[in-house]
Amino acid sequence: MFGPQLRGLNIISKIFLSNKNFSTDFISFIADNNLNTIDSLILWNEAKVLECIKSYINAIRYKNADSIASFTNSTLDLYISSKNEFNLFFKVIKKFIKLLSMQNESIDSKIGFNEFEELASIVSSKYTNMNHVELVKNIEDFHQSLDANANPQLSLMNMIINSNKALN
């Protein structure tokens, strides 16, 4: 009766132990204990996670044309080359937005990745009227448009524009 569940826990434990890049708290936070996400996260490191978030924030706040172009190009390259990596990219961004919301509500958010939490604090303090729900909805709408075979570049630009509105 408990055999398959114990084997599943054993697999998760082995993955957690084999991942030297992140704390188990961070892996659990990002992956929601989804084995596919955990497996994909093994290929990432802290610098890649932070770059993912920074590129997203810089694009939606319209830092400059290069930041938007860079985010758009790298995101579309991921979409073409690796759906798993593409999905993980946006899962990390959505979890970052969740962390922003948690911090906004003064919910304990110790996830064992100080730079990630510090970046969330900086973003939260700079954009105090940010609509977290709308930011996540924009990402979900972007994914739905891709599922409906919309033009990926136009859909991504639409997400950036709408996310900028939700940021302020």
Task: Give every CB contact of residue 33 below 8 A, 6+ residues apart in sequence.
Answer: 12
Which structural domain, as residue segments, surrounds residue 60?
A: 3-167
Along the 168 residues of the chain, how does pLDDT read in single tens digits? 455 555 555 555 655 565 567 888 888 899 887 878 887 887 899 999 999 999 999 999 998 899 999 999 999 999 999 998 999 999 999 999 999 999 988 888 788 899 999 999 999 999 999 999 999 999 999 999 999 999 999 999 999 999 999 998
Of 113, 115, 103, 143, the residue nearest 29 (C-alpha):
113
pLDDT of residue 121: 93
Of 102, 100, 109, the residue nearest 128 (C-alpha):
100
Gap between the Cα atoms of 127 and 135, Å rounded? 13
pLDDT of residue 112: 86
Gap between the Cα atoms of 149 and 34, Å rounded? 27
pLDDT of residue 20: 66
Kindly report the CA angle at 70 between 64 and 73, in degrees rounded to 5? 140
pLDDT of residue 78: 94
Query: Which amino acid makes up residue 114?
Result: N
Kindly report the CA angle at 29 between 146 and 92, in degrees rounded to 5? 35
The string of DSSP codes covering 132-162 is HHHHHHHHHHHHHHHHTT--HHHHHHHHHHH
pLDDT of residue 13: 61
| Number of domains observed in the structure of the chain | 1
For residue 22, give both structure tokens: 């992140």
The string of DSSP codes covering 83-125 is HHHHHHHHHHHHHHHHHHHHHHTT-----S-HHHHHHHHHHHH
What are the distances in angstroms from CA 157 to CA 14, 90, 164?
A: 40, 15, 11
pLDDT of residue 1: 47
